[in-house]
Structures are given as C-alpha cells and as structure tokens.
Amino acid sequence: MPENLPKDFIRQIIHQDSLGDPSCMTVTRFPPEPNGYLHLGHAKSICLNFGVAAENNGITFLRFDDTNPTKEDEIFVESIKRDVTWLGFDWGKKLTHASDYFDRFYLAAVSLIEKDLAYVDESEPEEIKRLRGTLTKPGVNSPYRDRSVEENLTIFEQMRDGEFADGKMILRAKIDMASPNMNLRDPAIYRIRHHQHQRTGDNWCIYPMYDFAHALSDAFEGITYSLCTLEFEDHRPLYDWFIRQVETKHRPRQIEFSRLNLAYSLTSKRKLNDLIEKGVVEGWDDPRLVTIAGMKRRGYPPAAILDFCQRIGVTKKDNIIEMGVLENCVRENLGNTSERRMGVLKPLKITISNYDKDQVEYLEAQNHPNFPDLGTRQMPFCRELYIERSDFLEDAPRKFFRLKPGGEVRLRYAYIIRCDEVIKNSSGEVIELICSFDPDTKSGSGKSDKKVKGTIHWVSAQHSVTSKVHLYDRLFKIPNPASSDNIELSINPQSLEIVQAELEASFAEESTPKVFQLERNGYFCIDNTDGKKRFNRIVTLRDSWAKIEKQALNS
C-alpha cells in the first residue's frame, strides 16, 4: 500500500473518488436525534464526518433529525451543539434540521403516491407486522395495497389535515413484500402524531419516518458520503430506493462502519434514560457515564477523546474496545499538561514531637517534575501534618517501604521522619502517629547523605483545605452491561466514593489550576456544576483494571 494512501477504508474510498473527479467536493453530515445527550460513540462519528470533510477541503452539516416530537426537546439540541463545539468542531453556517424540509418531504411523499409507489394502510399495527412475514417467510400484500392513486391522495391529504387519530393509518412505500430484505417490504413513510413539535409547533400532525427523512435530507443538502454504523447496512437499498424514486438532483453514497462498543460502559439512550429516571446516576452528565457531557464534567480533555477516536480507527468489524485504551489516552494527555499538587484522600494525623509547635516553614515544591517552566510553589510545613492512611501499616510486611512503627520515611520536599508511637482510640483504630524528624535531612539541603527507601506525600494540618472529593470508577462491573437482563444488577457498587480529603494550602488560592495531578492519587479536576465546589477524580495513575478486563473480554 502506498505510504500516502489513507489508513481506513472510508478515507481510501474518498481518495479514489477524488482521483476520478478532483472537482467533487466532499460533503458529510452529523445527524443526531435530539432525544438525549451525545456519547462516546457519537464522538467517533463526529470525528469521522468532520474529519474526512476537513481533510478534503469539504464541509459538514450538523443536522438535527427532529422527526419524532414525542421524544425530542430543545434542551437536547443545545446540549448537542455544546458538545460538538467542545470537541473542537465547527459547522459554520451548515446548521439544519430535518424539520426544515417538512414541506419537501410531504411533496416527495405525494409524488410517490402519484407514481403508485405509496399507499395508505389502515391495518392494525399487529396485522401489518404479521403480514410482513419473517426472515424465512415472504410477506403478504396488505388489503389496502391496491387502492387507487386518487383515493390514496385524498386520504393522505386528510391525514395531513388532522382528520384521523394517532395510529389510525400510515403511509407505506410500495416496493416488494417478497423481498429477502425486510426493510423493502413496504416500509412506513409517514405516521400520525398529534403532538406539538419543538420547532414547527402545531403546523404538522403527520411526521416522516427516519429512513425516508434521512435519505431525502442527505439528497437535499448535497451530501456526498452518508457515513453511518453497520446496523444501517440492510437499510442501504431502501435509502437508495427513496433517492432514486423521488428523483433528487444529488445521489449521496451511504457507507457503513462499525459502531463503537466500549467495555464497562453503556451508550443506549433508552437505557441511560432509565438509569437517570431511577436515580441510579445523577443525570446525563454524571461523570461515570461516557456521555460527552459526563466525560467533560469528569475532566476528560477533548484532545484525549479525539486521540482515542483516532487510535481505534474506522473498520467494518464489530469489536469491544477496552476501557483502558480510553483511560490511557486521558493519562497521556494530562501527564504533560497537569501541574502537580499534594492532597491526602484518607487522612491520618501525625505529630512531629521534636518540631517547634509555633514554627511554620515554607518548602519549595515543583509544579511539574519534567517542565521547570511551570514554576514552583511554597508549601507550609509545621508540627502537625496529615499523611495518607494507607501509607502506614502497624503490622507491615518486610518489603513495605512506607511508614511503620520504628520505621523511617521521607516526606516529599521535606524531611525524613521516624514513627515513634502509635495512638489508638477505644475501638483499636489508629488515630494518630507520634513521629520525630531529622533536621539535617531537609530535601535539597545537602547536609546529610542519609537515605530511606520510601517517600510519601503530606499536607500541613494547620493550613490544609478540607474538601469533598468524588472518587469515580467504572459504572459497571461487567464488560458488556447492555447484554444483562437487569442492568441495575451490573452496577459497580464502588463506582463512586465520596471522601472528605485534606488538600495542600494552595487550593485556597484563586490561581489553583482547574485540572491537576494529586501526587500518587491520580488526576483530578474542579467541578462547580451544581454550584458547590468539589473535586472529581478524572483517572487513576495506573490502570488497575487491566488484567481483569483482559480476562473478562477473552472469556
């Protein structure tokens, strides 16, 4: 394969087409239905559609498929626009809605009736389903299929004028009830919905079906490549049939690719909405969800999501991507951009007995170990400190190099201390450690060559900022929760832990970075979504699920 040939098959197709017709502009579209928030699968589609157009000096339409007013809301429209913009894409003046074309859809349906290629069916829904047949049994013509053109035109106009109740009848395309492709067995084109539309109000009480509206919208907008996921592959003959029979000027080409399946996550809008309504998650922007709003609130950088979409590529093969791939993209992005801070998530108090109780010393700490240009900060050090509870073990194994009775450890940027006494409450719980420090071991002083194997982080108890920290983990405990009969039973009970943490004094300053690494604890961000300042863990420093995930996906 030549080095300059695009990597994925869609880009190769577009490349070959451009060789045959260099003047042909690449026009794509991202057509979400405004009935929920966008998720990571949509991000893949956004990157693909906007990406291939930009690479070929083309344009991309952001088109809202607003043909079902019973489920759609302007709130979702605005959220989708925010998400696409946040990811870094710009549709310019190419913002459209399927509802922009309601008049043209209606005229197109009339033209099909006039060609005797569509008819009004008054059969009950169950009867229509029965007559369609099965995958192994051909369908049977509806008793209304042979209505005259004149009668169909009259009834369809009456449908348009609101003379019939919801579900009373539908308009169907007249194609082939014996086709092996079920989608060609006289599919519905229009149904009756007496429901106010968010944009057109009460102007319409009949609404086009997705396959009909989507194909014609593509044609009306001059889309050259209609890129969609594999479940629409069997719909392609119907897509082409509508465009051919309506005789539009443009003939878009539909190309299918595999959808994004991410382990330990859920993207079904219906199932997500169910979890939201039951209070299992906070809302569409819950940081445990892979909705774009949820990932944004959790602190995922848009660049990491774009990197992830590029890494997984575009193929025709369905597979499940490991969650670790996404998390590693986040770690790699944040590793070089996030300043370091210190914070203790589960505090254990230590008192340094030989340190003056009235003394406060300010120690210099690096904001990033690899980028000196990010500067330093001053950390107050005093007699009473907090360390991470997990950094002390009373009955420690031989290779435990953190703090233990009689053991020594270095406090980062500070001194070497020794644990002299363990204080417990009446329940036997360790509540405080009495330690001593060696004043000659101050970091960077060069006074002592004494070395210890362990270094731990700390904060000044006197100056620390007490904060609520949300520790997020994967929402589900099984790789494919969508396959579960009861999704709620698949919820990971440790997906959210809220702790009262002690953070270093710099967090009281306005200049505190919005995204940062708490040393040894992971990457975090400041979240003010609900009007109250809290901290969210974006991702841990290491992938603790890697082995579990690989075993689960291979089982």
The C-alpha atoms of residue 157 and residue 143 are separated, in whole angstroms, by 20
* Measured distance CA(119)–CA(504) in Å, rounded: 72
Strand partners, 257: 229
Gap between the Cα atoms of 536 and 296, Å rounded: 11
Marked catalytic residue, from 81, 82, 259, 346: 259
Q: Which among 33, 122, 233, 497 is annotated as catalytic?
A: 33
Q: How far is CA 417 from CA 132, 396, 410, 518, 529, in A?
A: 79, 17, 6, 22, 41
* Residue 33 known to be catalytic: yes
Burial 93-114 (b: 16+ CB within 10 A, else e): eeebbbbbbbeebbebbbebbe
d(CA 232, CA 238): 10
CA dihedral 227, 233, 239, 244 (to 10 degrees): 100
Burial code (b: 16+ CB inside 10 Å, e: under 16) for 375-394 equals: eebebbbbbebbbbeebbee
Amino acid at 474: R
229 burial type by CB count under 10 A (0-12 exposed, 13-18 middle, 19+ buried): middle
Find how far residue 448's CA is from the centre of its chain.
51
Q: What's the first-to-final CA gap in the chain, in angstroms? A: 35
Secondary structure of 284-331 as H, E, C letters: CCCCCCCEHHHHHHHCCCHHHHHHHHHHHCCCCCCCEECHHHHHHHHH
Specify whether 259 is catalytic: yes
Of 235, 205, 283, 239, nearest in space to 37 by CA: 283
Q: Which DSSP letter does residue 394 get?
A: T
Q: What is residue 429's DSSP assignment? A: -
269 in catalytic set: yes
Residues 508 and 466: their CA atoms lie apart, in Å, by: 10
Catalytic residue among 172, 185, 269, 296: 269
Strands 170-173 and 188-192: antiparallel
d(CA 454, CA 84): 46
Task: Identify whether the C-beta of residue 267 lies closer than 8 Å to the C-beta of residue 20.
Answer: no
DSSP 219-240: HHTT-SEEEEEGGGGGGHHHHH
Return phi, psi of residue 225, to 5°: -130, 115
Active-site amino acid positions:
33, 259, 269
